[in-house]
Structure 1
């Protein structure tokens, strides 16, 4: 196994090895870095402007950075994973907005730098909020900075002049623009989410169409192959018997030729409904092609399978379909084969096919069980040629 580099070990120690937590910690560290940068700017202002209370700014910087550092450590510990907001986005934004409002009061004549910091805070926090939270944060920011603007004149012991009005107006513009942009981003996110859901639904429908016969609603040949292979492996592990039966509607071509393909389609649907009503929930019926069906009987002995198929045969023979020319009846021929350990699925299906051919040649409307061994010289091509 490849040894991790020192840089990788440091990153794992700082960000965690859990992918989800790494993302949350990375975003929290970005917010912390922005706060540290803002604190540095405020400290520079305090150092350059004697009118600014340097001690108050230092306390502000320590508290502002310390609060976000505590939240970042809490996220890194993993304790927030069970919370509804594991990234603590709302608490972080409330903290930074409050810090920004206080900085606006402390910065004196340099308070014009605060709106840009505020805009950056609101923008980066957008992606973790829903619409209601965006509106709530926006309203809180407006109230916080309204209080800050009101406190500025008293704190600085000076009249409210045009510069104060300009700064207040700039804060209002920044907040309004950020809220509008955030809401626009939320709408885009919602639309993208709806598009993803629609795409997932379309893919699910396509997968269903790829594995289902659209006429009867049964699994199609490809899906049935996969299910039979899965049951074969399960039977091999458990040692329990697995039976495969091929069912073919007798004289189906005559129905199509005499009454039309629409009547033939209704006959296929009625046949599928009758068979599904006779078999167990664990049994799988699939349309194999044309008027031919395959029935998968897992964990079923040959005697039980034959008894079940006899019920199917009698139910099909009793089926009566209404038609303008008079009631139509159909019968079914069935070939049954038990899967043998070591055989392929194709070989078992071929044995069932040969048994079906025998049922057809003996007069139809009957069940024939495949013998234990293969029948030489008799292939599925010959069986299909005898079906009409």
Structure 2
């Protein structure tokens, strides 16, 4: 594989993109900083196909990234391969309003070929190539210029290894017949709605002990206010107000701006400054959370109850057994909310009752719920035991 020099000019980038434009796939990775900003600061982009690899400096003065972004979001003839690429895709979406498509994530691919839920990149490289990575440059300051050779070599290694692993992984997925297991997951990763941050939904990320419509309405308003403040100032959300402080303000709203000076987690200056005034306006304009947005009161899912919770636990045990037998990650096969829905007697419109998930697990889960299978210990291992003829 040819490793190209660091690309820091528009002409060199255009030439490189033309060179790889006929590839079947490209491996993609980014280096970025976001500790002190709301928006991730893109510092380096690494690209490789099976013959060429390069690191691209998006911070280079005057560089035009259009050829690369066009390749990533508009060329659907090339598969874009990432590892744990959620944040990489988010950066591309923020820059273009589009996501790379089609997409393949090797972290998700590994879930179909082993029991690891979220295998790290170093472990992936070791497992497939037998290479132990030098992690020394991992936490470097990627925004500082000039980048040294060790940093660039480390960054390019992320995509050169990925370009070797992907064909091997794809071959194994084809041989095991599990490639189609990943179709839904990859489409979800490429769905622009997955990366479109809606301030009106920001409250859903905040833990709140209250289930009162007025308190949750205030939490929704405050979370949206903080989201907009953080964006406009390009600061992390926690630098504006921390989650626990927002939840406390929503549950115990101050009667006046002057009272903000006594709120733990806020500076005393908030009782008289503009940002404190905007916070109070958000509280004053908050509305009761509508019924259709209210979170379910049961921590184990709607309508589950005590007996249903026990059934859900048995389903999770069954899932552990099945994932061990298949040597596949349990989270890929079924999610907890689907198991709890089935335990509560709601088997419509849940993913484990459809397609390959039903074939490898859903049918057995239904048999367990309906009393046709149970558990037994054989040769020291917990296994499924047939009680009566399984369902067709």
TM-score category (smaller protein): under 0.3
| TM-score in terms of structure 1 length | 0.20
| TM-score in terms of structure 2 length | 0.20
Who wins on radius of gyration, i.e. which is larger? Answer: 1
Between structures 1 and 2, the one with greater helix share: 1
